[in-house]
Chains A and B, each alone.
Chain A
Amino acid sequence: MLEITELVHSYGSHRVLDGVSLSVAEGELVSVVGPSGCGKSTLLRSIAGLIRPSGGQILLGGRPVDQIPDNLAIVFQDYSRSLFPWMTAANNVALPLRRRGLDRRRRREAAMAALDQVGLADAGGKYPWEMSGGMQQRVSIARALAYRPSLLLMDEPFGSVDAQTREDLEDLVLRVCAHHGMTILLITHDIDESVYVGDRVIVLTRSPARVSADLKVDLGASRDQIATRQLDEFVRLRAEVGRLVRGGSTTATTVLEQH
């Protein structure tokens, strides 16, 4: 689905991405984790076609990304700057569907269905500023769902909400995306989260970013906030990702694997 080879990007003389290679298969949820400021957002913006990387290649569905792909959606961290405050929630979700060639009534129906899936069936007429942060982020997720992208990018999507809401949203994304069989690349700096939501975790090094590990998460398809986090496999993976993010080398991985 998504194939990135030796991606390099520099801002002036400052190198941010230093040969990042990764791939995401159809229907997979891959989390990318790394220390703050390591270039995660640059990676995401390159995939989205918002910036042109200095080097390397990005293939989305076999086609190189040289402009903004028409089958891609993003959920940004800062929902208040991504949702349009002058539109109701339903209109925020429905507006992008114009390009899908749906008429007004069909757009409205699709928007209401997507809002229903994120638990906001009654909030279509509300404006974003009339909602809590968690609800606003649900609207952004509904907008992405209704758009039916072949790849969904999420940039620290739960970074601006409280802990309880964060867990609710993590489960919401897991449930809804499994239901639709969506392909997701989720960027986060939260080690726990990267393991909890991911089918795979890709760990980036400190800036300039390279891939330091690509770990398979063997926790099964259904996850539970309490039970999953107690599993030995979860604890082991979290510790490993933690060491890698904190700048530990691959030797830590080797040591762990010998146990």
Chain B
Amino acid sequence: MTHVATHSVRSVIRALGRLWLVPVTLVVWEIATRSAAQPFFPPPSAILARMHEIWFSGPASHLLLTDKALDDFGPSLARLFGGWLAAAALGVLIGTAIGCSSRLADYLDPLIELGRAVPPPLLVPFFLALLKLGTPAQLATIVFGVIWPILLNTIDGTRGVDRQHLETARIFGFSTAQRLRQVILPAAMPKIFAGLRLALSLALILLVIAEIFGGTGGIGYQLLYAQRSYLYPDMWGCLVMLGLLGYLLNSAFLLLERRVLAWHRGARQTN
């Protein structure tokens, strides 16, 4: 018990040791912006006050979120996750097919190399011309932009399954579905998850770009609107919110990964 107690005390101290730079940065930021007294650079206290006012002063039954917060974040998050999940499904599906068939890989490799070389933000005008303004074009931008790391990592992962694991599956007569679900996909999962994590942070960037260029709502549109209306605390609020969102998404994903890939960490530590 005492061992556990000292251990947890030590980990708290270590966490504090890492986090001290955050308040220090905030204080320096506050002092610098106050002494500069520029309207373009509001102090963090003003940014937070504004964020509280427009987004986080709602009723407790709505987790303090205002209607405007729900209007701004709701559609954005739906697009972000919708696009990311669609890209994940497509990427893993196509990637597994390519990873398992060298014939398919020969046909599709040039196309993939070409597709991933196109900078995704450039596709916004293309999708805007092709699809309806708003969500369809934004979703298309996100899906097309973030599918590449998922696709390439899935190909790599499914191709790299240990030969002896595959032979074991053949000897014991696994069906095709069993081989996919019990052997190939689990073996490729560490690589697939690395791709998914990269895609998640990319999806946030593309969401903002898509909303700035072709949006009528959402956090990226709010950012543009605030900047054009000289509402600098609002604009900064959007930036801070995006930073927080990115951090939260990544942390949540790492938690999920730690659960799903517990075997992988264990196996790596003992080998």
Contacts and interface: CB of A to CB of B under 8 A. Distances in A.
Nearest to A132: B270
A86 B181 CA distance: 12
B263 A50 contact: no
Interface stretch (A18-26, A67-75, A204-212): A67-75
Interface stretch (B76-84, B107-115, B165-173): B165-173
A72 B171 CA distance: 7
Contacts of B61: none
Given A127-B266, A129-B266, A129-B267, A84 B171 contact: no
A48 interface: yes
A99 B172 contact: yes
B40 interface: no
A188 B267 CA distance: 28
B165 A81 contact: yes
Interface string A69-94: 01011101010111011110000000
Among B178, B186, B270, B271, residue most surrounded by chain A Cβ atoms (within 10 Å): B270
A195 B173 CA distance: 32
Contacts of B186: 84, 86
Give chain A's interface residue range (CB within 8 Å of chain B): 20 to 34
Contacts of A86: 186-187, 189, 263-264
B174 A81 contact: no
Contacts of B174: 95-96, 99
B71 interface: no
A78 B165 CA distance: 11
Nearest to A45: B167
Contacts of A48: 171
Q: Specify which of A86, A130, A143 lies most central, judged by the most chain B CB atoms within 10 Å of its CB.
A: A86
A130 B266 contact: yes
Contact of A129 (B162, B173, B175, B270): B270
Contacts of A143: 172
25 contacts: A50-B170, A73-B171, A78-B164, A81-B162, A82-B164, A84-B165, A84-B168, A84-B182, A86-B187, A86-B189, A86-B264, A95-B182, A96-B172, A96-B173, A98-B178, A99-B174, A99-B175, A127-B267, A129-B263, A129-B267, A129-B269, A129-B271, A130-B266, A130-B270, A147-B172
9 interchain residue pairs of minimum CB distance: A96-B172, A81-B164, A129-B267, A86-B186, A85-B267, A86-B263, A129-B270, A99-B173, A129-B266
